[in-house]
Amino acid sequence: MYERFQTLLLKNNVTPYKVAKETGVTQTALSNWKTGRSTPTIKTLKKIADYFGVTVDYLMSDTGKEGLSVSSNIFQDENSDPQIAAGIEAQADFI
């Protein structure tokens, strides 16, 4: 899971210090996560995911694709039917 975080750091050219400072997550928490002494809470994962614009699932998964939140523009382009998008979002919330 920390590997995902490292990938996002590199991709976005930011340091763990900057992420900690801008999210309110302590550097100690990030260090403990890196060394395996602890795992982040859901609240911490949410802050990190929001910072990078990915989902918590993406941070926790092993797949190579970035997780976009269901409310992202993926369902709301000019060719999308708003009712279909709303239905997809409702089903995602149900799951």
60, two tokens = 């926790």
Q: What is the pLDDT of residues 31-63, one digit of tens each?
A: 999 999 999 999 999 999 999 999 999 988 865
Distance CA 77, CA 32 (A): 41
pTM listed for this prediction: 0.65
Distance CA 12, CA 24 (A): 18
Q: What is the pLDDT of residues 51-95, one digit of tens each?
A: 999 999 998 886 555 544 444 444 444 445 555 655 555 555 444
34, 36, 37, 40 alpha-carbon torsion, rounded to 10°: 70
Query: DSSP label at 74?
Result: G
